[in-house]
Amino acid sequence: MYVNRGSITAIGIIFPILAVLAMIMRVYGLRYYSRKFELDDILVIPAVMLNIAAGAALVIGAQMEIIGGHSYPVISETEQERLGKFEYAFWIGHILAIGFIKLTILFLFRRIFRGQTYRTAFDYANWTIIFFVTLWTLVFLFFEIFACGATPAASWLSLQSLRHACVDTFGMQTGGAVFSWILDLTILIEPLLMIRTLNMSTKRKIQTSLVFLCSIFAVTAGLLRMIPWIQIHIQDISHVNIRVLGTTLPTADQEGIVSIILFWTYVEIGIGFLVACLPRSAWIFDKISLTPIIYKLRSLASTTSISQWERGPDPKRGKERNYSQASWISTRQPKESPSRHTDDEIELVAARST
């Protein structure tokens, strides 16, 4: 099985490292390219802390053999309690992490697209999504904490106590994952609809759209987190085996089933955080120049042409060479002066505040 202690440990290390690097680029961009410290710059702080904490928890849980293995044919009472306590804490943390990540992205959108003098259609749509994200976070956080009423220990004592002393946690988790994925879709679509209204060239619109299209990775990760919950919810757990994301496991293998869900949940958190930091870190793309590469390729083409000329003329090769040179000329564009950039371009692509 691809989800094991090694893979869980790996994502628990990789995503926090990437999160720290993303924050460094974000802070650098804030320091050198922005004059304002907005709400999304505040919301990203608990988001990165929860991201790192979740990664550390997965690494510790895998090394302590709480997750990443299998509990078949039977799970002991001690293993059941350790796994249940780990789940209880992780599910609470994942609600907060995903909520802060979504709000960070949405308030970043407000920085870019909001109306300056009057309410626009974007303002109403954006505030509506913010409302639903906040509602989702508070409601499911409450459900996670009080799923078993005043006795949270019932959630980790045994599977029977979880099913009889608590609410339908499988249904609750499924509903939360589905609602979260729908919100991911709206967050993906919203900026793409607004980019066409900005005062920038078609080329810059395409570049900016590609930045925001990276959200599709977060949408995909959310889908892979949602599918296991739906599969578990619709399958009869009284059967001997259960199928989760193409992997068939014994229904009694609680650790194996939970590990798959934890794996994809943290993948969603890790990718979502990187997506949240990407637009504010897009200044780095302005530092990347293709000019040296183009000059290198042209020099290589010139060297090849000289060697061919020394071997003798070839009508076909001459035509190809002329066509190649014409292509280089047609693709070369004059370097755009920074003074021609609009405020929206600077803010959106280089993540600078106007």
3-state secondary structure of 241: strand
Q: How is domain 5-287 classified at the architecture level of CATH?
A: Up-down Bundle (1.20)
The pair of three-digit structure tokens given for residue 9, joined into one six-digit string: 């440990």
* DSSP secondary structure string for all residues of 160-222: HHHHHHS--HHHHHHHHHHHHHHHHHHHHHHHHHHHTTSSS-HHHHHHHHHHHHTHHHHHHHH
Report pTM: 0.77
Closest listed residue to residue 107, CA positions, set 315, 353, 338, 298: 353
For the chain, the structural domain boundaries read 5-287, 291-349
Question: Distance between alpha carbon 200 and the CA centroid of its chain, in Å?
Answer: 27
Residues 6+ apart with CB under 8 A from 136: 99, 176, 179, 180, 183
279-292 pLDDT, tens per residue? 766 655 555 544 55
- What are the residues facing 244 on neighbouring strands? 247
Q: Please answer whether residues 141 and 95 qualify as being in contact, where contact means their C-beta atoms are separated by less than 8 angstroms.
A: yes
State the pLDDT at residue 239.
73
Which pair of structure tokens corresponds to residue 86?
């780990």
The model's pLDDT over 174-217, given as tens digits with 9 standing for 90+, comes to 999 999 999 999 998 888 888 777 777 777 777 677 777 778 88
3-state helix, strand, coil in the chain (%, to 5): 75, 0, 25
Q: How far apart are CA 315 and CA 313, in angstroms?
A: 7
Report whether 70 contacts 260 (CB < 8 A): no
Show the low-confidence residues of the chain (pLDDT under 70): 32-35, 115-118, 207, 236-238, 280-354
Amino acid at 269: I
